Structure 1
Amino acid sequence: MINKTLISQRLELINCWLKNLKKLSYLSYEEFISNNINSAAAESYLRRSLEAIFDIGRHLLAKTGNIEMAGEYKSIAKGLASNNFVSNDLGKKLVQMAGYRNRMVHFYSMVTEKELYDILLDNLGDIEQFTIEIKQAILK
């Protein structure tokens, strides 16, 4: 059985971290890189958001009999779309997010301030869209 309380709690965390990421997105690039705490905070909030997204996905897939899709991050992304928890468009973006999550965790020394800043400007809407679609699918 899907634990709606767990889902709701994870979505609240994502929304909290998303607010902090949005605050960082209001900085100019020069302001962003002027203090290394900004990029560290962006990386931390982004990584935590991605982990929570995939925790939610893993839970949904496991609890709906799709345990084989609940292992790898890209499988979770594809499984969420194929089981109509999220749209196909968002599912494709989640596959990209899974790849970036792996980059942040395993190739952390290669993550640049510029790419983090670009994500702040261009991709936070995808995280927000995830929260909207999951709420619509699960917390109706």
Structure 2
Amino acid sequence: MTKTQASRRVITERLALVERMVDQLRALPSGDLETFLADSRNVWTAEACLRRSLEALLDIGRHILAKAYGIPAVSYKDIAAQLGKVGVLSQDEAALFREMAGYRNRMVHFYYELSAEELYQISANRLEDLEAIQAAYRRWMLANAEKLDRPLV
């Protein structure tokens, strides 16, 4: 795979999507499980926003690896590992992202095993994980301007 430059537009658009999805997740009632479950739309919103957030973060990672480093990633968990190897993510962030990638796979392939309670717990207690990876990508962009294309003016 040929190394070129990552697209600022692609990365910033996906980061904005993650931010919108996290805002939607934060808007859900997270005070207690009973309130969350009182409206089934909360469960569906949590699932959709969480899955889209994870997919956007993984898309960004794949894009950075392919364009800025010329590294193909074959699986979502591989994206996390490779991002740690090249220093886009710290080792702790890479381990967290690997766990998140596994959860994304579970959401897509084992959707029938997901419980409303589990989605509540993630929505109420784990949104910082999404924000940690977002912050890591932003740090990488600031520190690696030469690996990014020039913005269109």
Percent of aligned pairs with the same amino acid:
40
Deviations 1:81-136 (A, max 9, x none): 11111111111011111111011001111100111111112211010011111001
Greater RCO (Cα-Cα under 8 Å, separation 6 or more): 2
2:130 paired residue number: 127
1:137 paired residue number: 140
- Conserved in 1, the CA contact under 8 Å of 2:29 and 2:35? no
The size of the alignment, in residue pairs, is 138
- Conserved in 2, the CA contact under 8 Å of 1:4 and 1:139? no
In structure 1, list runs of 5 or more residues that go unmatched. Answer: none
Task: State the SS of the aligned residue for 1:54.
Answer: helix
1:66 correspondence with 2:71: yes
Letter in 2 for 1:33: L
1:114 correspondence with 2:114: no
Larger radius of gyration: 2
Task: State the SS of the aligned residue for 1:74.
Answer: helix
Structure 2-normalised TM-score? 0.86
Structure 1-normalised TM-score? 0.94
In structure 2, list runs of 5 or more residues that go unmatched. Answer: 144-153
2:13 paired residue number: 9
Cα distance between partner residues in 2 of 1:25 and 1:123? 14
- CA shift, 1:25, in A, is 5.1
1:33 paired residue number: 37
